Structure formats: structure tokens, C-alpha cells
């Protein structure tokens, strides 16, 4: 009666790279709602803080159009339909702001991942290729016997975004054939690229028949130490 009511709603929205984004929306409806705008809080593990703030600002803009009428349902429908555009807009503004400082603040990083298995290999490989392309990451998806490695190079923010996609998207199928998330991935190394490391120009899928072949791939890229530290232990 004096404070109004608060409630949380969780919704899943399809985002830019065909992955689901889980949005947690907290609404506080004051006593004289809907004559007064609600307070809205937006959280998501898959979005940056700045993107969450942008979504909140856009929701409040929409709320003003519905003043004096119940609006929560309309706001949720709106965010489900427009989240993609808000994030695209947010990314454009962010890119413009950081274009000049990209080299210093973001830096070029490298990521080495180990996957336990791929049941739906063709679909999985296609998904990884698509993510790498969309995020402008270069590197290799490497198969050697039962060992599966993903080596990526690119801006740190893109590497982070890739990791989120890899952990939260349904990329494979389980033993019963149902779509499932990647639960058996390990991050072997995540580090800034050094002067002795060579940059991959493209992202390629490669199969190796012997450990020596795999080793040569790493050594050609100036990654001899990375190889010796992380790859041989996987074969034990």
C-alpha cells in the first residue's frame, strides 16, 4: 500500500548470432502506477553492463508511451521483438567510441580450448566457423585422433564474447540426440599475443594424423611453448 510491488520476470530472447539471451527484468510498480512510470532493472550474463543499461533506457522510453495504462506485458513483448536492434545500436556506438583506443585497451589475445567430444560434428563445426567469422576471429579448429582443440586470435572483447557463446549455446547433441550445451570444454590458455607469436590470417578446420604434424602447426605460428605446455598432457 505504501511501497507498491516488485517482481522479477525472466525471458529468453533470440539474439544476433542465433543464440538465446536470458534477460532478467526487475519491475517495481509504485503505488500510483500506471500514472507513474515503473522502475526497471535489466540484467543478463550474456550482455555487457552498458548493453543492459541501453535496454533499460529503451524500455523506459517505451513506458512513457503507455503512461496511464498497464504496460508491463507490452514492454516485455517490445523487448522480445527489439532486443537485437538495441544491441546492434549499442555495439555501433561502442565501436565508434573505442575505434581509436581499440589497439591499446582491447589488445589482440589468444585462446586455446580443449573439447572432449563432438557428437553432431558437422553442425558443431559449422557453428564454430560462423561464430569465428562473425566475431572476426582467426585461428584453427584442430582434430587429432580424439583430441579436439580450438585456437583463436582476435580482440579480447571478441574472445570473451566467443567464450560466452561456446558456454551458453546449444552446440551439440547428447546421447539421446537432444540439443545440448557444451559442458566438457576446458580453457587451456587465454593470454595476450606477444611479439614472437605470428597472427593467423584466416580461420581453418584441420585434421592431423600425427602429433608431430600438430606440433609443426603450433611452431609455425611461434607457439612452441604453448604447445609443449598444454598439448602433450592431453594424450596421457
For residue 101, the model assigns a pLDDT of: 41
For residue 77, the model assigns a pLDDT of: 93
Rg of the chain on CA atoms, in Å: 22
Q: Are residues 171 and 217 in the same domain?
A: yes
More confident residue, 106 or 134: 134
More confident residue, 98 or 206: 206
Which pLDDT band, with edges at 50, 70 and 90, does 143 fall under?
very high
Q: Are residues 125 and 228 in the same domain?
A: yes
Sign of CA dihedral 43, 46, 50, 51: negative
Q: Are residues 130 and 213 in the same domain?
A: yes
CATH number, residue 31: 3.10.110.10
Q: Are residues 86 and 158 in the same domain?
A: no
Find the mean pLDDT for residues 107-118.
Answer: 92
Q: Are residues 221 and 132 in the same domain?
A: yes
Q: Are residues 113 and 222 in the same domain?
A: yes
All residues at 6 or more sequence positions from 41 whose CB lies less than 8 Å from its CB, including other chains: 25, 26, 56
Q: Return d(Cα 128, Cα 149) in angstroms, integer.
A: 12
Q: What is the 3-state secondary structure (H, E, C) of 119-187?
A: CCHHHHHHHHHHHHHHCCCEEEEEEECCEEEEEEEEEHHHHHHHHHHHHHCEEEECCCCCEEECCCEEE
- pTM value? 0.56
What is the pLDDT of the chain when averaged over all its residues? 87
Q: Are residues 199 and 115 in the same domain?
A: yes
- Cell 562473425 maps to which residue? 134
Q: Let me know if 154 is exposed, middle or buried by CB neighbors in 10 A (0-12, 13-18, 19+).
A: buried
For residue 99, the model assigns a pLDDT of: 44
- Cell 520476470 maps to which residue? 9
- DSSP readout, 185-230? EEEEEEEEPPTTSPPPSSEEEEEESSHHHHHHHHHHTT-HHHHHHH
Q: Which domain holds residue 18?
A: 5-92
Q: Return d(Cα 134, Cα 138) in angstroms, integer.
A: 11
Total tally of structural domains belonging to the chain: 2
C-alpha cell at 66: 503507455
Q: Are residues 88 and 114 in the same domain?
A: no
For residue 95, the model assigns a pLDDT of: 52
For residue 180, the model assigns a pLDDT of: 87
Q: Return d(Cα 235, Cα 232) in angstroms, integer.
A: 6
The residue among 67, 92, 117 that closes a domain is 92
Q: pLDDT for 59-106, tens place per residue?
A: 999 999 999 999 999 999 999 998 888 877 766 555 544 444 444 446
> Does residue 101 lie within any of the structural domains?
no
Amino acid at each position: 500500500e505504501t511501497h507498491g510491488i516488485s517482481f522479477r520476470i525472466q525471458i529468453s530472447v533470440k539474439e544476433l548470432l542465433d543464440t538465446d539471451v536470458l534477460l532478467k527484468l526487475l519491475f517495481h510498480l509504485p503505488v500510483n502506477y500506471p500514472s507513474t512510470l515503473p522502475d526497471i532493472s535489466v540484467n543478463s550474463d550474456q550482455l555487457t553492463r552498458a548493453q543492459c543499461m541501453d535496454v533499460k533506457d529503451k524500455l523506459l522510453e517505451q513506458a512513457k508511451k503507455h503512461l496511464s495504462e498497464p504496460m508491463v506485458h507490452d514492454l516485455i513483448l517490445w523487448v522480445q521483438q527489439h532486443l537485437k536492434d538495441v544491441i546492434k545500436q549499442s555495439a555501433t556506438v561502442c565501436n565508434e567510441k573505442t575505434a581509436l583506443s581499440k589497439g591499446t585497451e582491447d589488445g589482440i589475445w589468444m585462446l586455446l580450448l580443449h573439447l572432449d567430444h563432438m557428437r553432431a560434428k558437422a553442425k558443431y563445426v559449422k557453428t564454430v566457423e560462423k561464430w569465428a567469422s562473425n566475431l572476426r576471429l582467426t585461428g584453427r579448429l584442430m582434430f587429432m585422433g580424439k583430441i579436439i582443440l580450438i585456437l583463436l586470435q582476435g580482440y579480447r572483447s571478441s574472445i570473451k564474447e566467443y567464450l560466452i557463446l561456446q558456454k551458453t549455446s546449444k552446440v551439440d547433441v547428447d546421447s539421446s540426440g537432444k540439443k545440448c550445451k557444451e559442458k566438457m570444454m576446458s580453457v587451456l590458455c587465454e593470454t595476450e599475443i606477444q611479439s614472437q607469436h605470428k597472427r593467423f590470417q584466416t580461420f581453418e578446420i584441420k585434421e592431423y594424423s600425427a602429433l608431430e604434424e600438430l606440433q609443426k602447426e603450433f611452431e609455425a605460428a611461434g607457439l612452441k611453448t604453448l604447445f609443449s605446455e598444454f598439448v602433450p598432457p592431453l594424450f596421457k
